[in-house]
Amino acid sequence: MTTALRRLRNYIDGEFRDAADGRTTEVVNPATGEAYATAPLSAAADVDAAMAAAEAAFPAWRDLIPAERQKVLLKIADRFEERAEELIAAESENCGKPVALVRSEEIPPMVDQIRFFAGAARMLEGRSAGEYMEGFTSIIRREPVGVCAQVAPWNYPMMMAVWKFAPALAAGNTVVIKPSDTTPASTVLIADIIGSVLDELGHSRGVFNVLCGDRETGRLMVEHTVPAMASITGSVRAGMQVAESASKDLKRVHLELGGKAPVVVFEDTDIAKAVEDISVAGYFNAGQDCTAATRVLVQESIHDEFVAALAKAAAETKTGAVDDEDVLYGPLNNANQLKQVKGFIERLPAHAKIEAGGEQVGEKGYFFAPTVVSGLKQDDEIVQHEVFGPVITVQSFSDEKQAVEWANGVEYALASSVWTKDHARAMRMSKTLDFGCVWINTHIPLVAEMPHGGFKKSGYGKDLSAYGFDDYTRIKHVMTSLDG
């Protein structure tokens, strides 16, 4: 006797719907490796319907005064708190994440971020109006861009949905968002929450729409003629494909892609404190984080001591079941990701040494042990490419110049950190490190008020902060004659 799979559906214009052609895909719980739901495999007809709903809802939503949009977002934040346990359960099943960590590390910042953007809705900025030509006054209007096609990733499906819809809605845009095909459950629940709030406050539920589907669904969304903007958090390859597709009709593009964060540890660092913090920042969420502290560069004078401490910390770090409050992280998200992480380990060069971990854990699910690899060179595959798993690599550098050269010597440029007691050195490093974020004596904290986004192949555009809000607006110059 088999257990019936839960049925997830698209959310279009305030209604939960199956795909127009009835196609579905199975959704697997990565902690068990077993399917627990089906979700629509949306095609062109579904994309057309969602875009039409968002387009029809846009004029009224755009024309609301900011205070009214703020009310909606504040109510959504309140509802997230009220229905937190539902969201936690959905995300835990989505991703295999430990329940306690979703409760403590994801729900509070998501609620805070929604409330931040609710406030940002009323803080539109522009240069001062004035007479820059005799007899004329110029003013700046900051307006929403229109319908936004958004694609969220599988590593933080719930939080990344917030990072996308909150600034978009606050700025007056309408949204069609697609979760990853492996993690649709929490986004479908978010649709129910947002739809109920829009309904209660008398606004069109077409303001927010969810399409489940695969890469083809995402391509159809980006290439559709309705959206004025396409936003994606995903791989470099996916970002390049989105940028290419969007170029066909010159859509605005917002890309948050991969990372390979250098963690530069100098000899004056408090080793015990650095190892403790770097381990958490490297293994949290199974290392499935574009900013994860997984590429450590250690000054040669403390290398051996640091590696020994890091290997000990890895051995003491636990991965396991969602209800175990002692685990730091759960499984990798899917079978393909497990295969990718294993492949990096299997292809390690002869000069590399596995100091801890390096193997799958358990008989079911996609768990992988906390891993430390030392003895690596700058051009090694595992140094140059994103593993996206609980694997910390270690290299030994001689001086500050070499540390900067190696830290910057990858194609990614999202985040980095510097560990030193020397203030002047920290300031020099924060200037020369070519990354969108530089942490000093810490790694991975984020706040709603500060921007998140990178350079090079890590993409462009910012999430969070007023800068992230601005990305969802356009600027118009209005000039009037003073002659009447």
Annotated catalytic residues are: 256, 290
- Reduced to 3 states (helix: H, G, I; strand: E, B; else coil), residue 84 is helix
Q: What is the largest CA-CA distance in the chain?
A: 83
Helices assigned H by DSSP within 260-302: 271-283
The three-class DSSP label of residue 390 is coil
Q: Which of 163, 100, 77 is nearest to 464 (CA)?
A: 163
Q: Which residue from 383, 306, 392 is spatially nearest to 349, judged by alpha carbons? A: 383
Q: How far apart are CA 368 and CA 361, in angstroms?
A: 5
DSSP code for 65: -
Do residues 185 and 37 touch, judged by C-beta distance below 8 A? yes
Contact between 390 and 377 (Cβ < 8 Å): no
DSSP string, 143-165: EE--EEEEE--SSSHHHHHHHHH
Strand partners, 210: 11, 177
C-alpha to C-alpha distance for 110 and 105, rounded to whole angstroms: 9
Q: Cβ-count burial of 90 within 10 angstroms (0-12 exposed, 13-18 middle, 19+ buried)?
A: buried
CA distance 237 to 251: 18
Which residues face 397 on adjacent strands? 299
Q: What is the DSSP string of 306-354?
A: HHHHHHHHHHH--B--TT-TT-SB---SSHHHHHHHHHHHHT--TT-EE
Q: CA angle, 151 as apex, 150 and 154 as ends, to 5°?
A: 145
Q: Name which of 104, 86, 111, 90 is nearest 166 in CA terms.
A: 111
Kindly tell me the burial class for residue 228, based on how many C-beta atoms sit within 10 Å of its own C-beta (0-12, 13-18, 19 or more): middle
In sign, the C-alpha dihedral spanning 216, 220, 221, 223 is positive
CA-based nearest residue to 75, from 209, 197, 167: 197
